[in-house]
Amino acid sequence: MQAAQSTIDQHEVAKFEAMAAEWWDPNGKFKPLHMLNPCRLDYITRQIAAEFDRDLSSDAPFSGLRILDIGCGGGLLSEPMARLGADVVGADAAERNIPVARVHAEQSGLNIDYRHTTAEALAASGEQFDAVLNMEVVEHVADPQEFLNVCAALLKPGGLHVCSTINRNLKSYGMAIIGAEYVMRWLPKGTHEWSKFITPDELYGFLSKAGLNPVDRKGFVFNPVSWSWSLSDRDLSVNYVTAAVKPG
């Protein structure tokens, strides 16, 4: 049990358990994720489609693919993946998130395998996936390298790992903490710890050391005029996302 929980930061888990009931409230504590979700879904679906040669305009384009949404929360990513035909496992270390996710999936007519578990426990049981979605999680774990090692172990050869997180610099401190938590009050104070943020080069290094081949990275950029997010090839200064492939 100790080994299976090695990268879990219980303090971080407690933060998200306290907000569990608000996952599907677009104006609640997860408003930033609801705003970002269309942009990150666009990136994720395009990466999966390219890697597995799927046509996104077809019915159930991800049929036959097994996808893990690690740190699934209330299911904001799991549900769209299921609608695209994937066999989805949504896993979260915060126990209170799972009932919320299950109820919403049932109400939406979706069959999603939600589990209160960890990446380590899934790997120990021999689970394997075509794609692992690791979105806004790595900055909340106790040991990012070990966590990514486990995520890599969960991938089938040729599998795709998509990971988003927050850069570590003065701009990210101003926007992700001062702006989001203190000025806009989108998130409770203390949701993020700046020291846990990870630079793109650091994340690429972690991924490579885990045995994955990083193939792409993009920035998520917020436009305060249009009040929307977009992808950027150049601006990775705050939020960003990476794609990596397991050899074989």
Give me the pLDDT at residue 33, please: 84
Give me the pLDDT at residue 189, please: 74
Q: What is the tens place of the pLDDT at every residue in 37-82?
A: 999 999 999 999 999 999 999 999 999 999 999 999 999 999 999 9
Residue 216 has pLDDT above 60, yes or no: yes
State the number of CA atoms in the 13 A half-sphere of 126 facing the CB.
0
Residue of 139 and 195 predicted with greater confidence:
139
Has 174 been labeled as part of a binding site? Answer: no
> What type of residue sits at position 212?
L
Q: Are residues 104 and 24 in contact, defined by beta-carbon separation less than 8 angstroms?
A: yes
Has 135 been labeled as part of a binding site? Answer: yes
Q: How confident is the model at residue 117 (pLDDT cuts 50, 70, 90)?
A: very high
Give me the pLDDT at residue 5, please: 53
Question: d(Cα 105, Cα 97) in Å, to the nearest integer?
Answer: 12
Over residues 161-172, the mean pLDDT reads 94
Residue 210 has pLDDT above 90, yes or no: yes
Set out the domains of the chain in order of their start, with CATH numbers. Answer: 13-246 (3.40.50.150)
Q: How confident is the model at residue 4 (pLDDT cuts 50, 70, 90)?
A: very low
Give me the pLDDT at residue 183, please: 64
Has 71 been labeled as part of a binding site? Answer: yes
For 11-42, the three-class secondary structure string (H helix, E strand, C coil) is: HHHHHHHCCHHHCCCCCCCCHHHHHHHHHHHH
Q: Which long-range contacts (CB under 8 A, 24 or more apart) does 179-184 make?
A: 180/32
Give me the pLDDT at residue 1, please: 29
Give me the pLDDT at residue 29, please: 77
Residue 142 has pLDDT above 80, yes or no: yes
Residue 179 has pLDDT above 80, yes or no: no
Residue 15 has pLDDT above 70, yes or no: no
Cα–Cα distances (Å) from 135 to 33, 53, 72, 78, 199, in that order, read 10, 22, 8, 11, 15
Residue of 17 and 142 predicted with greater confidence:
142
Give me the pLDDT at residue 2, please: 35
Structure pTM?
0.89
Mean pLDDT, the chain, rounded, equals 91
Phi-psi sector, 73: left (phi>0), alpha (psi -120 to 50), beta: left
Give me the pLDDT at residue 206, please: 98
Give me the pLDDT at residue 3, please: 39
Has 19 been labeled as part of a binding site? Answer: no
